[in-house]
Structure 1
Amino acid sequence: MDTRPMSATREEHDALGTLTLSDALDFGIQTARARENFPVSRTTIADIPGFVRSIAQIKKAAAIANRQIGVLPVEMAQAIVAAADEIIAHQKAEAFPVDIYHGGGGTSANMNLNEVVGIRANEILTGKKGSDIVHPNTHVNMGQSTNDVIPAAMKMTAYGLLASLEHALTEFVALLAGKEQEFAAVVKLGRTCLQDALPITLGQQFSGYREGLQRQLGELARVREMCVLLPLAATAVGTEFGTFPGYKSAVYSALGSITGVTYAPEPNFFDGLQNADIWLSVSGALKAVGLLLNKFCADLRLMSSGPRAGLAEITLPAVQPGSSIMPGKINPVMPEMVMQIYFRVLGNDVAVTRACEGELDLNVWESLILNCISESATLLTAALPLLGEKCVRGIRADVQRCARDAEHSLALSTVLATLFDYERASAVAQRAAAEGKTIEAVVVESGIMSAADARRYLDPAVLTSPEKFRALFDAKMG
């Protein structure tokens, strides 16, 4: 139990001067300045899932590496490792108050961790907070620079976020595959340009949704693997100045042991610090997932529209009343939630694109990139199970409505164009439209086909199966 009086303070100094800080604070003078300078968004580095943890893992790995190569005393290294382990195990949000929108290419974030780790390491060694023994810059930041620590931590953070999204998307794709099978025999009207087209099955339509998202699983895995190459050990501008012999190999070995992930140095550190195009790929993958979900959800809204005066092909589960004034109204709220998330992901992608431009020897807009990538990945990961359980799993098809619409489609005249010619098919379609009749009725009345042939060749279910209609048409042509 901490028995120090609440009024206890300590003096800290940096290149700009001295500040008096409450001894209750876990951070130091540079973090205090950053907290005063950037109270912008109320989103702190602690709010980015895994970011503080990733920096703490780097600090731990660096301490282990510097101890192994003999440039950091054993007791000091052990104290830094212990302090970092506390953060890794339990992150105290109040210890990391730096706003994510801060200037300096992430210096405030890096120093926040350096100070918290250093102050705690001092406390472990001496029983009091401060930097008398372990200095945040000299010891905790040994062999490092903000310029290599922050982009490395960003990639580590993204690696975890993308893994979580992959897991959520994998489960969602499996759910879509189940609905694909459930709806395999539900024949419905296809639509192109929002107009009636040839029939398909609802299962075939869902197979398109499933395949698109399944393809994005591969893309997420691809960009996640890009995140294992780190600029760590590049230090300030890519020259590795400030590191000691053996540090680079030792720090990557330690980081792998700590995280269970085989991270490796980027082949060109100058590229790693200057260029941020990897984030275009990561953001692009997130945007693609969001885009396909947006298309799916927009289609769900259309297919469930009505129910009296819309398409009404499917019914979505009712999860809440849809109007404060119209009793009985139910809205597609889960798809609408996901569509709004896509709009946000799209906006984040624009911000990431601009932030990736950078200049000269460092991209300094990494805090914004991280915030956007994190928000997009987190929103999509949270949305997928909600959409799955509260909407997709409970979708029901109106089999009779779907069949009736398919049977009345004028696009069935395409069969006549295939069997006979386009002009005859067009005439039949025009007559059917003018008289409000089905294509089948008109071809029988016109003597183009017998009633039996019309039923056989104009059966919407046959037209959804390449094997069935090819066999039927080959027999006719033969």
Structure 2
Amino acid sequence: MTSAQPEPTGTPSLPSRLEKDALGTRLMPDNIVYGIQTARAVDNFSISGRTIADIEGFVPAILVIKQAAARANQRAGKLEPRLADAIEAAVMSCLADMRGQDFPVDIYHGGGGTAANMNVNEVVANRASEVLTGKLGPDPVHPNTHVNMSQSTNDVIPSAMKMAIGGELHALRHMLDELVNAISQKQLEFAGAVKLARTCLQDALPTTFSQQFSGYRAAFQRQAEELLVLENACLGLPLSATAVGTGFGTSKQYREFVFEELRALSGKRYHLEANLFDALQNADFWIHVSSGLKAIAVTLSKFAADLRLMSSGPRAGFGEITLPSVQPGSSIMPGKVNPVMPEMIMQVAFRVIGNDATITRAAEGELDLNVWESIILESLSESVRLMRRSIPLFVSGCVAGIEINPARGAADASSSLALSTALAEIFGYSAASAVAKHAETHGMPISEAAVECGLMNARDAGRLFGDVSIYAELEKSESILDALRGSRPAP
């Protein structure tokens, strides 16, 4: 609305206050803590049902920035002590009682986050005025003049994003640590149990369950370490860049003090980014973060898909492992149990991959500011939130209860035609290939085919194929191969 006339808002019988912005005036009910600009944003952007308050750590990060800025501006001589103290008291009150209704701006809003920044500015200003006068309103503490002093939406929002996402990455890293520990436990439990490896979904050489699970464990361990790098990179903030990276509206003292205060308030080593123009113009950092999340999601999906395959059957599939039964698998087929926990984690992965596409497109931006930070934040936060919530369920409802079928694993490994690889090491590829073909044609194991084809006697075949677990132990297999090579008659 552009009219200068008051706009009736809320229930007329409620006590109200008149607020003013550049577009006009508006009556705000006294039971609402936010102000006129937030009310306009609610009118404009009520889309998704998710607000800035639903993004974990985001509003608290903005609040802490406001607190640090008030302290810094007071130290720099720009803000009266009584106003700074009132702002700090208001921030502390908000942090102690984070009421979602005070921060109703939809995450889908334009303006590069202006509505989010002003929502927090108005809540803090109104509460600070209440501290000083007992009444809500922009007097004596104004949301722009005082709470937003030495700041711009353009440096506050990307700074708060990094603070919030850094905290979420920290929490996700600990969830990954739980998964790594659960897989490590299975690696120990499965030690020595042989199974058939598969490449291109076809029979390959023997391995062990423990070796296979060590690969899963190492992947998630590596990704947890990579998350730590991204988490630390979130400590660099563009705070004090103000509108376009020049720092206009700040002082040298403020730029120094605001980071001192932010570090004191958070206990984290926040510091100024190297190039503030880069920090405002370019959002490729979030592509790196999203790529790290996508890598975790893809690995989770691959691990879960492998568990589905290895547990398939149980009578007409791989049947190598058994997953915990957490619910009946069919409304019509009694006794059927589905791998629902792997299927759940795979759907989470699909969503994270989709969010990565959104983030990639939104990171383009234009000219001197990326204005798509709201959707970047929402997509990143959702990806982390889904994985943080699903991984513990996946661990407790699936990974921790995996059991193996050692008899099935050993039988499959012993019958693999890929055991002919050992013959190729001794007699050459062509001779080994002929034995493999003979074994397949006559439906016999490689050990019998090698004897029938005249490559070796039954005693040597027993040494080479009697215990297929040697194929998973390099020193043992190499020792036997060397011995058999040495016993061959000279050509």
- Secondary structure of the 1:246 match is helix
What letter matches 2:170 in structure 1? A
Query: Following the alignment from structure 2 to structure 1, what is the Cα–Cα distance between the partners of residues 455 and 483?
Result: 18
Deviation, structure 1 residue 444: 2.8
Matched, 1:258 2:269: no
Work out whether residues 460 and 484 of structure 2, in 8 Å CA contact, stay in contact via their aligned partners in 1: no
Query: Following the alignment from structure 1 to structure 2, what is the Cα–Cα distance between the partners of residues 476 and 85?
Result: 77
Gaps of at least 5 residues in structure 2 are 1-11, 487-491
Deviation, structure 1 residue 455: 2.1
Matched, 1:421 2:428: yes
Matched, 1:302 2:309: yes
For 1:460, the equivalent position in structure 2 comes to: 468
For 2:55, the equivalent position in structure 1 comes to: 48
For 2:3, the equivalent position in structure 1 comes to: none
Query: Following the alignment from structure 1 to structure 2, what is the Cα–Cα distance between the partners of residues 210 and 34?
Result: 46
For 1:433, the equivalent position in structure 2 comes to: 440
Work out whether residues 173 and 214 of structure 1, in 8 Å CA contact, stay in contact via their aligned partners in 2: yes
For 1:389, the equivalent position in structure 2 comes to: 396
For 1:477, the equivalent position in structure 2 comes to: 485
- Secondary structure of the 2:252 match is coil
Post-superposition Cα deviations, 1:376-408, rounded to whole Å, max 9, x if no partner, equal 011111111111111001000001011101111
- Which is worse superposed, 135-144 or 168-177? 168-177
What letter matches 1:463 in structure 2? Y
For 1:216, the equivalent position in structure 2 comes to: 223
For 1:358, the equivalent position in structure 2 comes to: 365
Deviation, structure 1 residue 437: 1.1
For 1:84, the equivalent position in structure 2 comes to: 91
* % same residue: 57
Query: Following the alignment from structure 1 to structure 2, what is the Cα–Cα distance between the partners of residues 6 and 444?
Result: 99
Post-superposition Cα deviations, 1:1-21, rounded to whole Å, max 9, x if no partner, equal xxxx97111111101111111
Matched, 1:328 2:322: no
- Runs of 4+ with >3 A deviation: none
- Secondary structure of the 1:359 match is coil
Residue 92 to residue 6, structure 1, CA distance change in 2 (3 Å): farther
Query: Following the alignment from structure 2 to structure 1, what is the Cα–Cα distance between the partners of residues 403 and 154?
Result: 53
Query: Following the alignment from structure 1 to structure 2, what is the Cα–Cα distance between the partners of residues 34 and 261?
Result: 32
Task: State TM-score, norm by structure 2.
Answer: 0.95
Post-superposition Cα deviations, 1:157-179, rounded to whole Å, max 9, x if no partner, equal 01100000011101211111111
- Which is worse superposed, 238-247 or 285-294? 238-247
- Secondary structure of the 1:83 match is helix
Matched, 1:26 2:33: yes
Work out whether residues 185 and 201 of structure 1, in 8 Å CA contact, stay in contact via their aligned partners in 2: yes
Deviation, structure 1 residue 212: 0.9
- Secondary structure of the 1:443 match is helix
For 2:158, the equivalent position in structure 1 comes to: 151
Query: Following the alignment from structure 1 to structure 2, what is the Cα–Cα distance between the partners of residues 474 and 275?
Result: 59
Query: Following the alignment from structure 2 to structure 1, what is the Cα–Cα distance between the partners of residues 172 and 384?
Result: 7
Work out whether residues 66 and 148 of structure 2, in 8 Å CA contact, stay in contact via their aligned partners in 1: yes
For 1:241, the equivalent position in structure 2 comes to: 248
Deviation, structure 1 residue 327: 0.9
Q: Which of residues 190, 201, 204 is equivalent to 1:194?
A: 201
Post-superposition Cα deviations, 1:146-166, rounded to whole Å, max 9, x if no partner, equal 000000000000110000001
Work out whether residues 417 and 423 of structure 1, in 8 Å CA contact, stay in contact via their aligned partners in 2: yes
Post-superposition Cα deviations, 1:6-51, rounded to whole Å, max 9, x if no partner, equal 7111111101111111110010000000001001101100000000
What letter matches 1:393 in structure 2? A
For 2:345, the equivalent position in structure 1 comes to: 338
Work out whether residues 169 and 231 of structure 2, in 8 Å CA contact, stay in contact via their aligned partners in 1: yes
- Secondary structure of the 2:207 match is strand
For 1:124, the equivalent position in structure 2 comes to: 131
Work out whether residues 316 and 395 of structure 1, in 8 Å CA contact, stay in contact via their aligned partners in 2: yes
For 1:313, the equivalent position in structure 2 comes to: 320
Query: Following the alignment from structure 1 to structure 2, what is the Cα–Cα distance between the partners of residues 369 and 450?
Result: 67
Gaps of at least 5 residues in structure 1 are none
Work out whether residues 76 and 254 of structure 2, in 8 Å CA contact, stay in contact via their aligned partners in 1: yes
In the comparison of the two structures, how many residue pairs are matched?
A: 474
What letter matches 1:396 in structure 2? E
What letter matches 2:102 in structure 1? A
1:104-183 equivalent positions in 2, closer than 5 A? 104-183=111-190
Matched, 1:232 2:245: no
What letter matches 1:97 in structure 2? P
- Secondary structure of the 2:182 match is helix
Matched, 1:61 2:68: yes
- Secondary structure of the 1:197 match is strand
Query: Following the alignment from structure 1 to structure 2, what is the Cα–Cα distance between the partners of residues 290 and 239?
Result: 38
Matched, 1:450 2:457: yes
For 1:11, the equivalent position in structure 2 comes to: 18
- Secondary structure of the 1:189 match is strand
For 1:371, the equivalent position in structure 2 comes to: 378
Query: Following the alignment from structure 2 to structure 1, what is the Cα–Cα distance between the partners of residues 481 and 249?
Result: 77
Post-superposition Cα deviations, 1:35-71, rounded to whole Å, max 9, x if no partner, equal 0100110110000000000000000000010111111
Query: Following the alignment from structure 2 to structure 1, what is the Cα–Cα distance between the partners of residues 348 and 78?
Result: 49
Deviation, structure 1 residue 113: 0.2
Deviation, structure 1 residue 422: 1.5
Deviation, structure 1 residue 213: 1.0
Work out whether residues 156 and 228 of structure 1, in 8 Å CA contact, stay in contact via their aligned partners in 2: yes
Post-superposition Cα deviations, 1:276-322, rounded to whole Å, max 9, x if no partner, equal 11101100110011111111000000000011110010000000011
Work out whether residues 23 and 129 of structure 1, in 8 Å CA contact, stay in contact via their aligned partners in 2: yes
- Secondary structure of the 2:216 match is helix
What letter matches 1:142 in structure 2? M
For 2:78, the equivalent position in structure 1 comes to: 71
Matched, 1:290 2:306: no
Query: Following the alignment from structure 1 to structure 2, what is the Cα–Cα distance between the partners of residues 446 and 287?
Result: 51
Deviation, structure 1 residue 447: 3.7
Work out whether residues 6 and 24 of structure 1, in 8 Å CA contact, stay in contact via their aligned partners in 2: no
- Secondary structure of the 1:198 match is strand
Query: Following the alignment from structure 1 to structure 2, what is the Cα–Cα distance between the partners of residues 301 and 245?
Result: 59
Please give the root-mean-square deviation of Cα atoms over the aligned residues, in Å: 1.1
Query: Following the alignment from structure 1 to structure 2, what is the Cα–Cα distance between the partners of residues 267 and 211?
Result: 34
